[in-house]
Structure 1
Amino acid sequence: MRVTHFHHSCVLVEFAGTTILFDPGNFSHGFEGVTGLDAIVVTHQHPDHIDMARLPALVDANPGATLLADPTTAAQLGEGWQAAAPGDVFTVGAVTARATGGRHAVIHPDIPQIDNTSFLLGNDSNPARFMHPGDALFVPDVPVDVLALPVNAPWAKISETIDYLRAVKPRLVVPIHDALLSGFGTGIYMSRLQEMADPATEFLPFPDEVAVELT
């Protein structure tokens, strides 16, 4: 598997000859001009996960890509987009994409929750080779190999993130959802998460816009 982090929550996953791009939002860059995608996946409607200004060009540049989004966002985007609700299973190239979760994490009780579909990529032998949760702390019922971990958000405090990380207990962590952190803050979050994760979980140094091979 090869993974490229295009800042914040935008992640390109290349696995079993299949290429899938997650959450090309307005805090992300570097995904512009990417071609050859087998799927473009959007977890939810917030602009840091879907940039409406740049999305049409990305879709046009990848006419063969499967387009998946949470049900509300799929309805808003219209033709060509498939609603991915919890329990739905999609075949994308040689990869199975399983939709799970369903709701965005609570930002505040006065703010209505919206759809948020978390996705598991894998195959029959390893159904969760990679997980992108979007903006949710959803724990799947299968072991996760590589977790794209949201490290900072208005809806999360670090104790919740630590508990989530321990509950999922992935083999590898790709840190995402970090655009709101300063340089100083990033170091604090990363060191705290690493020291408090399960000993079996490995954090990878993850430079932006550089493809990293995961074994």
Structure 2
Amino acid sequence: MELSKWGHSCVRMVDHDVTVVIDPGGWSDVAGALDGADHVLVTHEHADHLAVDRVAAWLAHAPQAQVHGPAAALAPLEEAGVSPERLNAVQPGDRLDLNGLVVLVGGGTHAEIHPDVPRPANVGYLVGPVWHPGDSVDTPPEPARVLLVPAGAPWLRLADAVELVRAVRPELAIPIHDAIYSGQGTGLADSLLSRLGGAGEYRRTTSGETLTV
């Protein structure tokens, strides 16, 4: 499988002839990530994970592509004119077969930002060997060799991200959800996650850089 990150929490995975994109949000290179994609997986409805207008516009020119996510995350796409036949609601415990690529759905609820801020449904996706937890530090439903670890958010303590890496024990950990950081902040997060997490390898990638996992 080929894996690339396209800014913030947006990742693209290509396995044989199937291309899957997770969380093409407003802080990501949406066009680059979605080019030629077959399936879009959305963890939740927040704009940094789903750029509704741009995804809807892309779907108009990608007639075979399908979108999967919690019902509340799909509703804005339907309101933007996307056919309901192309929108597939998921929940934790589901097993998806995307043209032969197996995806397990986990998670459940967005991590708490503040008690006064509602917590929407948030799912994670185990795509082959790769776990994307969305806006949570939930562990995967089955062991994952590759962990996309959230590194910076209003809802996140870096200590919790470290504990996620320790719980998953991946061969490779790649930081995501990091658009809020300055250069100094990125360096601090990388130092703590790489030094304390215990992953086989911790690696920050540049936008569009492709790894074989």
> Is the structural similarity TM-score above 0.5?
yes
Instruction: Pick one of 75, 80, 89 that aligns with 1:83.
Output: 89
**Structure that is richer in helix per residue:** 2
Matches within 5 A, 1:43-192: 43-78=43-78, 79=84, 80-122=86-128, 129-192=129-192
In the alignment of these two chains, the number of paired residues is 207
Farther-moved stretch of structure 1 (14-23 vs 186-195): 14-23
Q: SS state of the match for residue 187, structure 2?
A: helix
- State the alpha-carbon separation in 2 of the partners of residues 41 and 157 from structure 1: 25
Deviation at 1:14?
A: 1.0
Please, what TM-score do these two structures have when normalized by structure 2? 0.91
Counterpart of 2:27 in structure 1 is 27
Identity rate, percent:
34
Q: Which runs of 5+ in 1 are unaligned?
A: 123-128
* Contact 1:9 1:49 survives alignment (8 Å): yes
Question: Residue type of the partner of 1:13?
Answer: M
Counterpart of 2:81 in structure 1 is none
Residues 1:203 and 2:209 are matched in the alignment = no
Residues 1:16 and 2:16 are matched in the alignment = yes
* Contact 1:75 1:83 survives alignment (8 Å): no
- State the alpha-carbon separation in 2 of the partners of residues 86 and 73 from structure 1: 14
Counterpart of 1:126 in structure 2 is none
* Contact 1:33 1:61 survives alignment (8 Å): no
Deviation at 1:5?
A: 0.9
* Contact 2:105 2:141 survives alignment (8 Å): no
Q: Deviations over 1:67-121 (max 9, x none)?
A: 1011211234331211110111111122111111110001111212110011111
Instruction: Provide the alpha-carbon RMSD of the alignment.
Output: 1.6
- State the alpha-carbon separation in 2 of the partners of residues 94 and 204 from structure 1: 28
- State the alpha-carbon separation in 2 of the partners of residues 133 and 75 from structure 1: 21
Counterpart of 1:42 in structure 2 is 42
Please, what TM-score do these two structures have when normalized by structure 1? 0.90
Question: Residue type of the partner of 2:68?
Answer: L
Q: Which runs of 5+ in 2 are unaligned?
A: 79-83
